[in-house]
Structure 1
């Protein structure tokens, strides 16, 4: 199973409605392409985890990276893992207010993940919390 984790910065004028449209289209495309994962967002960044066949994940990421609704797209992790971590989620999503800690949300979302994957995502959450 191939996975890709990235962060990006939403455009300042992106609305919650825009994000809902992104999620709706993403879930539809992910279901069609056999991709699962999660998206966590606040007003300052997106954190997304994608998993599936390598070609499909890379194609999805290329489409995301060229989307004008966000910028500063940075890959954090890419490569193969032993199994699908989010088999039931075409795209789980959670919005976090800037003042909220991301760590409890991520900890809950990764409770069924492999230990190393869960730790990576929790490390990203801790880094976001320190920067917020």
Structure 2
């Protein structure tokens, strides 16, 4: 099992309907390609975790990297993992509310993850909260 974690910046004109379209298309593609994961959005960033067979995940990430609806795509972590962390989610999604932290939102999503993966995602979220 292979995973890629990245952050990106949505273009300023991206609205809720655009995000809904991204999720709908992503879920369909992920089901077809046997990819699972999550997408968390706060007011200024996307944090995405993709997992599946390496070729499928890398192809998906390459397609995402060419999507002009977001900028500054920064891979945070990629490599092999022991098992799927989000086996039931073609693409779980959360929007971080104005009064919530990314860390708190991610903490809810990683409850069933392996400890090291959960800590890794929480550390990314904490760093993002500090930078916000």
The answer to whether the superposition gives a TM-score over 0.5 is yes
Instruction: Tell me what 1:74 maps to.
Output: 74
Q: 2:117 is paired with a residue of what secondary structure? A: helix
Instruction: Tell me what 2:119 maps to.
Output: 119
**Counterparts of 2:44 and 2:71 in 1: how far apart (Å)?**
11
Instruction: Tell me what 1:84 maps to.
Output: 84
Task: List 4+ stretches of structure 1 deviating above 4 A.
Answer: none
User: In the alignment, is the contact (CA less than 8 A) between 1:103 and 1:125 conserved in 2?
Assistant: yes
For residue 43 of structure 1, report the CA deviation from its aligned partner. 2.2
For residue 99 of structure 1, report the CA deviation from its aligned partner. 4.1
> How high is the TM-score relative to the length of structure 2?
0.97
User: In the alignment, is the contact (CA less than 8 A) between 2:42 and 2:102 conserved in 1?
Assistant: no
Instruction: Tell me what 2:49 maps to.
Output: 49
**Counterparts of 1:123 and 1:113 in 2: how far apart (Å)?**
14
For residue 37 of structure 1, report the CA deviation from its aligned partner. 0.1
> How high is the TM-score relative to the length of structure 1?
0.97
Instruction: Tell me what 2:96 maps to.
Output: 96
**Counterparts of 1:44 and 1:100 in 2: how far apart (Å)?**
13
Task: Name the Cα RMSD after superposition.
Answer: 0.8
User: In the alignment, is the contact (CA less than 8 A) between 1:35 and 1:56 conserved in 2?
Assistant: yes
User: In the alignment, is the contact (CA less than 8 A) between 1:10 and 1:43 conserved in 2?
Assistant: no
Q: Which runs of 5+ in 2 are unaligned?
A: none
Instruction: Tell me what 1:20 maps to.
Output: 20
For residue 2 of structure 1, report the CA deviation from its aligned partner. 0.2
User: How many residues get paired?
Assistant: 132
Q: 2:79 is paired with a residue of what secondary structure? A: strand
